[in-house]
A and B are shown apart, each in its own frame.
Chain A
Amino acid sequence: MDGLLKTGRFFTRWDESADGRAVYREGGRQGDVFYRDRWSHDKVVRSTHGVNCTGSCSWKVYVKDGIITWETQQTDYPTTGPDRPEYEPRGCPRGAAFSWYTYSPTRVRYPYARGVLLELYREAKARLGDPVLAWADVVGDPERRRRYQQARGKGGLVRTSWEEATEITAAAHVHTIKTYGPDRCAGFSPIPAMSIVSHCVGTRFIQLIGGVMTSFYDWYADLPVASPQVFGDQTDVPESGDWWDSSYLMMWGSNVPVTRTPDAHWMTEVRYRGTKVVSVSPDYADNTKFADEWLPAQSGTDAALAMAMGHVILREFLVDRAVPFFHDYVRQYTDLPFLVTLVERDGAYVVGKNVTAADLGDTSEGAAWKTVLLDEATGEPVVPNGSLGFRYTESGAGKWNLDLAGVRPALSVRVAPGESGAVEVLLPAFENADGSGSVLRRGVPTRTVNGHLVTTVFDLMLAQYGVSRAGLPGQWPTGYDDAATPYTPAWQEAITSVPAEAAIRIAREFATNAEESGGRSMIIMGAGICQWFHGDATYRAILAMLMLTGSMGRNGGGWAHYVGQEKCRPITGWLSLANGLDWSRPPRTVPGTSYWYMHTDQWRYDGYAADELSHPLAEGHLAGLSTADTIAKAVRLGWSPFYPQFDRNPLELADEAVAANPDRPADHIVERLTNGALKFAVQDPDAPENWPRTLVLWRANLLGSSSKGNEYFLKHLLGTHSNATATEADIANREVLRRPEIPEGKLDLLVSSDFRMTSTTLLSDIVFPTATWYEKHDLSSTDMHPFVHAFSPAIDPPWEARSDFDTFHAIARKLSDLARTHLGTRKDLVSVPMQHDTPGETAQPGGHALDWAAGEVPAIPGQTMPVLAVVERDYTAIADKLSALGPLTEKLGLGVKNVTFRLDEQVRQLAGMNGVMLGGAADGRPALDTDTKLAEAILTLSGTTNGELAVQGFRTLEKRVGKPLADLAEGSHEKQIRFADTQARPTPVITSPEWSGSETGGRRYAPFTVNVERLKPWHTLTGRMHFFLDHDWMRDLGEALPTYRPPLDLHRLLGEPKLGPDGAKQVVVRYLTPHSKWSIHSEYQDNLLMLSLSRGGVTVWMSPQDAAAIGANDNDWVECVNGNGVLVARAIVSHRMPEGTVFVYHVQERTIDVPKSEATGKRGGVHNSQTRLLVKPTHLIGGYGQLSYAFNYLGPTGNQRDIVTTIRRRSQQVEY
């Protein structure tokens, strides 16, 4: 080699370095110009990605020659303070790929309408001259209506004008409101926090016309129902910076590097502080490789592991050695010391209800809501402060707190002075893999209080977990190695395949760490355990570990649930303006799962009775009910909402009721309901007058992304072709009328607004081209970090795209015009359930499911049945109201969680900043007529972004709690976050009563720290965190206490084949749909960049064993078929997958590579074609403390993880 160099040197003269490695030349860098041009740009604009992505990362968007070119991470997050890593940079490859969409081939550039519909409409309009009459003419003719419905999803979208598209949309709404009622108009848009303004404006439009917003958090099965059950809170979790405070970190079913990519660095960094990181996942997930230890629990069996760990913790840390830190904590902050009645059954006892002051003979206000414990010193029953009986009563003012006032609660009735006995209790268990119940016979110490035989929740917990104590009757495990008895470590090993030794060791480490660190043991929990049918039971078993070890309400400790969770930090402003509470109340909201379960007729294919989930010891509250019946019953009892509400147009009904009884119109409705002249729509969902008629989707991809039971949606809601494979179930319905025919094509009009062609837009009748996240003003926040920051338009919406804000204003204007001739001002009878965080949650004491229709209680709106209210709606003023802040803002105030802000000063400020509207229905009111003004209003009306309101709210709360709180916000009293601040850089929020943690003094946010440190109660029955839930339905399902419930046995319940290979070249597997690292949520599965980085196309991940069973190699085409639909995909065979489980990543859409199915001959489905809705009745409970409805707070989850499917290798020749 040296020779070559010498040769070169011989012929050429050059300037070189001493060692001859480098040569120096003059010039010749013209080529650099290319690279300089490549990265040159004209401006950089701050924006972010905005629907579901909880990252909420601020990005720099680069613009060159008016073209969006690329994006990079912003780096200007405020510091987290000394001794810890920073938030910047945040952002993942998905976010960095987003700018591809601006000019992508799938971009929606113009308004589109379904061609067939457009022709019909134009013809009718030419004939009749009026848009509403034309629409009525088209949909009034069954033949023409079916024609355009059956064209859905088969191409045929044609370009139209904004004028025409808004006209059709408005006309359809006016016609529906006039003919069927506003509660037949629905809207759906998920996760407001990540583009608050866009979500707000559309929701505000829907609510102003009296339409229905369907929920998303529970519908997505992201809501951990255990959170309302245990904490009385929708979800409140630590920011990711608080992982750094943890000294023992478990990741349970949460693949942090994939689904929380910008935050994952905290998890990897905290290991350098010596924190042990443990992963629980069935597959070798990406997060597992960061873990110090991996517990590979079989999918869906996590609760068995958690129960065994709880067994160890109770045995070693609360019984054998009473750790003072744990004992003090559970006494004050949990319901463990509270008394529970025991009811005799078959010579033994079963668990009854919480003992309340009413049981002690107290007849004063709220007595039925004041729970009771024993004083360890005197042995006397005591009614401590803080329970629900102190929250809404006049006498409770200043006493709604966790101050025990010197009383030391007895954890066990045994330790309190006085006589005590012991009885055998029968406890429900679910040891069998097929999910059927069995009975455990164990013993508890007892005592008689005012004639009631009682014990404590702690005593029951020990019995439940099988932690024996001397002198108690019943059968107990012989030790940790007793594999036959729940819930020992050896018992779980057979179920989860996690070695008993590992379960014991991790439990000990977990609790020891909590003891030594003051509760800094944290569990990050995720979709892998949440989205199961019994996900709430699993969560409760895991939360029990945290509560027993004093880890909740701590920095660095407690639960950290990260599944579609979001935090709309400026919540009061968003919630109030979105629901139009400044103009009229109450709004119509509904849990998506109940709504779609009924309206897509999935209930007609659901073949098991609700009490098949019950337990042998059940009292029979669900006996004879189908799942649909439980929904109907929950609606009737005022627990859970459903729309349409009645089988009549609520506008006509309001007129009739007001005419019949002008002072108390509700009485007229009650009378009609009790005599049967009026029926709830849910009782006959297939009657044409009870169908949903219009549906507006924005920021949403309902069909193809979240529509569990996609084929049922296509067939029954939309009335187009589908791969639906199910046959109608043969089951009796007691509450719901089963018509002979199952209707197809319920929906008159499907409208969607999107910037890309999705599975949903392909099926829509009208598609509006919307601005991307780089083309509009908006706000973003998350719970992963404590900042709010702005979206900004890097360019104006290109082609004919408009922002959601402008779209809804255009529709509203059109609707208001059409309403002049067709609607005018009408009265609307609105029916809503009793709501959480309102006095309504104290409607049904004792948690008894008493039915007015059966004569068990009188029919009283707002107590034993839904609230009935008459709302006036001026349909000609919808556009005016949409663009101005209404007068109820000052008149009634706005607030959340029962803290109401007085807002006179803020309204004056807004009028000054935004100006006021002139003329029209909103004359003189503060203007909300641009997106930036709406953003400004949201920030001004929220405590987290307006220090004055935070302080005011805390002062209000102090009066109820009787403890100092306002100091948490006083330092920020004069701080107001303006929209311009959020545009300048991510801005930290202010501690506010809207949330349960504190950021005061730059502290990292952890939930419930205010509860623990300031003795503010949780929003539950006892005011404490609940292990025990005594509602009738909870007890009947055997879930009064934490327990293990195996995944649903769909062979037993729905007749699906049994799991495993059947010898015929096909295999039955669990079918899971987790999120991938190449899509969701800052971009989607159609993004060319991400498709190129992954396998691309529709894929199913399977284990080598399952692949071998069907003779499939990697990349072979396979077909999944089950009782719901079909899916055609390529197999990815990977050792990462455990045998018997396959992954089909979430939202692989119809737009990319979907071939025809061999099984049906039609184009194969999407991932949700294989799923269906399975409703857990206990999620419908309402009117009882924390088990009361609120939007996205409590509702049946649209869980999908219990699904099984049959996979076989198909012909490798695929057709499209």
Chain B
Amino acid sequence: MSVLLWGVLPYFAIVLLIGGTVWRYRYDQFGWTTRSSQLYESKLLQIGSPLFHFGILFVVIGHVAGLVIPESWMSAMGVGESAYHVMALVIGTIAGVGTLVGIAILIYRRRTIGPVFMATTKNDKVMYVVLVGAIVLGLITTALAIAAGTGGSATAESYNYRESVAPWFRSLFVLQPDVATMAAVPVAFKIHTLVGMLLFAIWPFTRLVHAFTAPVHYLFRPYIVYRSRDARPAPGMTTPRRGWDPVGTKDRESAPARTPSRRS
């Protein structure tokens, strides 16, 4: 079971994420969109959207710092376990709560504003459940960590996922999943991780793909872009296809010559 959950499932998620994205990019570029609903409602959107997006950006940074960077590297930089935890808890909580409030506003808006709700697909609804699930569970793990850390009990050291979840996560990328470590983490972390994997698995098939094409470059380029015509499919540039040809019989052998001069 543990092997399935922590040794196989992650690779399924990765395959779906990468394969799905490639597939989507190839076959559904036109559907590669957030289907913006700003036209229908903008007052709530202009509060909820930045709150959520900046929040989730910090959440991502937090995850990178916690999961990708080994604890030893962090220590080498002089950030000790307790300092890291305070930082992670404070920034993580602010970012997490910001994200949660942001998405709460967005979902409230999506449900109550008629035109916006009308423009919401089943796909969107499933995505919202998973996304909110991942965020809430992530906050719960953070809350548990805080509770553990401030519980007053000396034995209940705050749980250090950098010694369990993070190594497992990194082990996935060297194709030697450290299943045992992961199997031993508290259940809240497990559920959060599972929902996270689910989120990545469905990612390419939802509107979340827009994250891959965030117009970051827009900030760093001149604001007018001129593109030259492509070499091929432009009007008037197609090569003439086969038309009325001489059929090769005696009387039609040299048909073009007999036809009153037609410019080719």
Contact = CB atoms under 8 A, between A and B. Distances in A.
Q: Do A and B originate from a single complex? A: yes
Interface stretch (A2-10, A88-96, A726-734, A758-766): A2-10
B112 interface: no
Given A4-B220, A8-B221, A34-B30, A25 B230 contact: no
A34 B235 CA distance: 13
A21 B219 contact: no
Interface in A1-45: 4-5, 7-9, 11-12, 14, 16-17, 20-30, 33-34, 36
B27 interface: no
Given A22-B222, A23-B224, A29 B217 contact: no
Contacts of B73: none
A26 B231 CA distance: 10
Contact of B223 (A21, A25, A29): A21
A25 B225 contact: yes
B228 interface: yes
A1019 to B, nearest CB: 58
B229 interface: yes
A1115 to B, nearest CB: 12
A381 B25 CA distance: 97
Nearest to B225: A23
Which of B30, B229, B230: most chain A Cβ within 10 A? Answer: B230
B233 to A, nearest CB: 6
A741 to B, nearest CB: 50
Contacts of B233: 30, 33
Interface string B214-254: 00010111111111111101010000000000000000000
Which of B219, B223, B227, B235: most chain A Cβ within 10 A? Answer: B227
B252 to A, nearest CB: 30
A186 to B, nearest CB: 45
A22 B223 CA distance: 6
Interface string B173-199: 000000000000000000000000000
Interface in A1159-1214: none
Contact of A30 (B219, B224, B226, B230): B230
B116 to A, nearest CB: 16
A8 B228 contact: no
A1139 to B, nearest CB: 32
Interface SS of A by simple majority: mixed
B55 to A, nearest CB: 23
Nearest to A16: B222
A29 B222 contact: no
A30 to B, nearest CB: 7
A17 B222 CA distance: 9
Nearest to A30: B230
Contact of A25 (B217, B220, B228): B228
Contacts of B230: 27-30
A4 B226 contact: no
Contact of B227 (A5, A25, A36): A25
Contacts of A16: 222
A2 to B, nearest CB: 11
A7 B231 contact: no
Contacts of B228: 24-27, 29
Contacts of B231: 27
A291 to B, nearest CB: 34
Contact of B221 (A5, A26, A28, A29): A5
A21 B222 contact: yes
Given A8-B217, A8-B219, A22 B227 contact: no
B218 to A, nearest CB: 10
Given A27-B231, A34-B30, A8 B220 contact: yes
A926 B263 CA distance: 47
A16 B223 CA distance: 11
Contacts of A27: 227-231
A1153 to B, nearest CB: 15
A23 B30 contact: no
Chain B residues touching A, range: 10 to 19
B226 A25 contact: yes
Contacts of A4: 219-220
B222 A5 contact: yes
Contacts of A26: 227-228
Given A8-B217, A33-B233, A34-B30, A28 B227 contact: yes
Interface string A318-345: 0000000000000000000000000000
A14 B221 contact: yes
Which of B219, B222, B229, B233: most chain A Cβ within 10 A? Answer: B222
Contacts of B227: 25-29
A66 B228 CA distance: 34
Nearest to B29: A31
A36 B230 CA distance: 14
A4 B231 CA distance: 32
A30 B26 CA distance: 13
Contacts of A24: 226, 228
Contacts of B223: 21
Given A27-B231, A33-B233, A5 B220 contact: yes
Given A28-B227, A29-B227, A30-B230, A23 B220 contact: no
Given A33-B233, A34-B30, A23 B219 contact: no
Nearest to A40: B235
Contacts of A22: 222, 224-226
A20 B217 CA distance: 16
A101 to B, nearest CB: 23
Contacts of B225: 22-23, 25
A23 B221 contact: yes
A1089 to B, nearest CB: 16
Contact of B229 (A11, A17, A29): A29
Nearest to B219: A4
A21 B228 CA distance: 17
A188 to B, nearest CB: 40
A7 B220 contact: yes
Contacts of A21: 222-224
A27 B225 CA distance: 11
Contacts of A12: 220-221
Given A33-B233, A34-B30, A23 B226 contact: yes
Contacts of A9: 220
B31 to A, nearest CB: 12
A817 B178 CA distance: 91
A5 B222 CA distance: 7
A20 B222 contact: yes
Contacts of A29: 227-230
A408 B233 CA distance: 81
Nearest to B229: A29
B24 to A, nearest CB: 16
A24 B231 CA distance: 16
Interface in B11-61: 30
Contacts of B221: 5, 8, 12, 14, 23
A1124 to B, nearest CB: 34
A24 B233 CA distance: 20
A8 B219 CA distance: 8
Contacts of A25: 225-228
Nearest to B231: A27
A21 B221 CA distance: 9
Contacts of B226: 22-25
A27 B228 CA distance: 5
Nearest to B224: A22
Nearest to A1: B219
A533 to B, nearest CB: 43
Interface in B72-108: none
22 contacts: A4-B220, A8-B217, A8-B219, A8-B221, A9-B220, A11-B220, A16-B222, A21-B224, A22-B222, A22-B224, A23-B221, A23-B226, A24-B228, A25-B225, A25-B226, A26-B227, A27-B227, A28-B227, A29-B228, A29-B230, A30-B230, A34-B30
Question: Which 7 pairs show the lowest CB-CB distances between chains A and B?
Answer: A8-B220, A22-B224, A23-B222, A27-B230, A24-B226, A25-B227, A4-B219
Given A22-B222, A27-B229, 4 more contacts: A5-B222, A7-B220, A26-B228, A28-B230
